[in-house]
Amino acid sequence: MTNSPTTPGIVAGRLAPQAIAENFADIAPDFDPHEAAVAADRCYFCYDAPCVAACPTEIDIPLFIRQIQTGQPEAAGQTILDQNILGGMCARVCPTETLCEGECVREAAEGKPVEIGRLQRYATDRLMANDGHPYRRAAPTGRRVAVVGAGPAGLACAHRLAMHGHDVTVFDAREKPGGLNEYGIAAYKTVGGFAQAEVDWLLKIGGIELRHGQALGRDVTLDGLRNDHDAVFLGMGLAGVNALGVEGEAREGARDAVDFIAELRQSDDLTKLPVGRHVVVIGGGMTAVDAAVQSRLLGAEDVSMVYRRARDRMSASEHEIDHAATAGVRIITNAQPVAVHGNGAVREVEFAYTRDNGKGGLESTGETFRLKADQVFKAIGQSLEGAPDGLTVERGKITVTGPGRTGLDGVWAGGDCAAGGEDLTVTAVAQGRDAAEDIHARLSA
């Protein structure tokens, strides 16, 4: 459900244009050369660097930082992109505080890690600013591969397959490529249309055809793709949004957080995007954080993020939770919704306090409370919609083994739609890349 500007309490233009522009400015601006050199000098260049082991794409972090230190940012960018073709976006959105920077020796010794993420952005931005493309296709193999989904997993898979000389067709349900990077990440993390620019850069390798408005099960079928191609990679993400399952959740003013974030990301003028005065976000992951923080940045006066378990069980990183609190979001834990109240439109959300029942489950304490709300965002997870016949689904995701192999011959899967992932851009890239290598090995046998 899309909220209308006429919905009571939900209005556009709560802040002046200048305030909106300042609020949505780049949260971690690029280094200049001097800043990059100073940041690089802090690296110990560990021989068996723990930061590398913590990176899902296994970027040689000490090497690329050494290359920056010696005045070779383009070479550093190449080192990064060899392992992670979406290294520019990952530099902006990766939870580095729990991955590479969280394992940095400087973090352990001083509580302040080397700024690996910003150094990665410095290097990749400079390489991508060059004309041309640093990768070349191998001789054409005559093999054709279908990729479903133009998100991080699908794009990484397509690029690596194109490098090996295969012809790739990417089918995507939306009108723009990028998936989560284009539609699902907070606007202040990736400003200036970077998501689209990165896709445009990636496609310079050639051999990749994008087909928009093509949803699996609606416009194309898995059987049809298997018949027309030598291999199929599924990287379509998760389109289904979990329901709260409580009375009144369909009231006007309640909507899925992913739709709000996508609308915000595609808006040409954020001063025209309506937001409530009193906003309640239900969930404890990154989607919940992004919806809550951006509501505040749009001018919502009172924003609460409510999660059913304890704070240490929230899937959002501690860094992001702290960022939300700093932005003025109230974090409420151990509370689950029981009803959304109102007369047509949302007016209040009723919650019950919870406690662990000792068996890993939750039970209500019997005590309830209500939060005033004119806008409610649901962010309690997503699920796979309409898995094709023949695929095994485990807990709402496609079961895979090894480098993304499904139970169907010639079909691989990766990213958010596949079991075993961490729902991170960097993990999706690694899965798409590794599946591509396995597909190439199969097609070359």
Domain spans in the chain, listed from the N-terminal domain onward: 33-128, 144-239+384-444, 242-378
pLDDT of 421: 73
pLDDT of 422: 77
pLDDT interval class at 239 (50, 70, 90): confident
Q: Is the pLDDT of residue 250 over 90?
A: yes
pLDDT of 3: 46
Q: Is the pLDDT of residue 2 over 50?
A: no
Q: What's the CATH class of domain 242-378?
A: alpha beta
Average of pLDDT values for 231-242? 93
Mean pLDDT of the chain: 95
pLDDT interval class at 90 (50, 70, 90): very high
What are 313-370's pLDDT values in tens digits?
999 999 999 999 999 999 999 999 999 999 989 999 999 999 998 887 899 999 999 9
Average of pLDDT values for 15-31? 96
pLDDT of 423: 82
Radius of gyration over every alpha carbon of the chain, rounded to an integer in angstroms: 22
Average of pLDDT values for 98-116? 95
Average of pLDDT values for 301-309? 97
Task: Considering the domain delimited by 33-128, tell me its CATH architecture.
Answer: Orthogonal Bundle (1.10)
Q: Is the pLDDT of residue 1 over 60?
A: no
Judge if 144-239+384-444 and 242-378 fold alike in CATH terms: yes
Higher-confidence position of 42 and 420: 42
pLDDT interval class at 241 (50, 70, 90): confident
Percentage of the chain lying above the pLDDT 90 cut: 90
pLDDT of 357: 87
Q: Is the pLDDT of residue 6 over 60?
A: no
3-state secondary structure the chain: CCCCCCCCCEECCCCCHHHHHHHCCCCCCCCCHHHHHHHHHCCCCCCCCHHHHCCCCCCCHHHHHHHHHCCCHHHHHHHHHHHCCCHHHHHHHCCCCCCCHHHCHHHHHHCCCCCHHHHHHHHHHHHHCCCCCCCCCCCCCCCEEEEECCCHHHHHHHHHHHHCCCEEEEECCCCCCCCHHHHCCCHHHCCCCHHHHHHHHHHHHCCEEEECCCCECCCECHHHHHHHCCEEEECCCCCEECCCCCECCCCECEEEHHHHHHHHHHCCCHHHCCEECEEEEECCCHHHHHHHHHHHHCCCCEEEEECCCCHHHCCCCHHHHHHHHHCCEEEECCEEEEEEECCCECCEEEEEEEEECCCCCEEEEEEEEEEECCEEEECCCEECCCCCCCCCEECCEECCECCCECCCCCEEECHHHECCCCCCHHHHHHHHHHHHHHHHHHHHC
Q: Is the pLDDT of residue 4 over 80?
A: no
Q: Is the pLDDT of residue 141 over 80?
A: yes
Q: What's the fold here for domain 144-239+384-444?
A: FAD/NAD(P)-binding domain (3.50.50)
pLDDT of 385: 82
| Tokens found for residue 425 | 């851009």
Determine which of 87-101, 195-209, 364-378, 410-424 has the lowest per-residue pLDDT on average: 410-424
Average of pLDDT values for 248-270? 96
Q: Is the pLDDT of residue 85 over 90?
A: yes
What are 206-230's pLDDT values in tens digits?
999 999 999 999 999 999 999 999 9
How many Cα atoms within 13 Å fall on the side-chain side of residue 222? 18
Q: Is the pLDDT of residue 5 over 50?
A: no
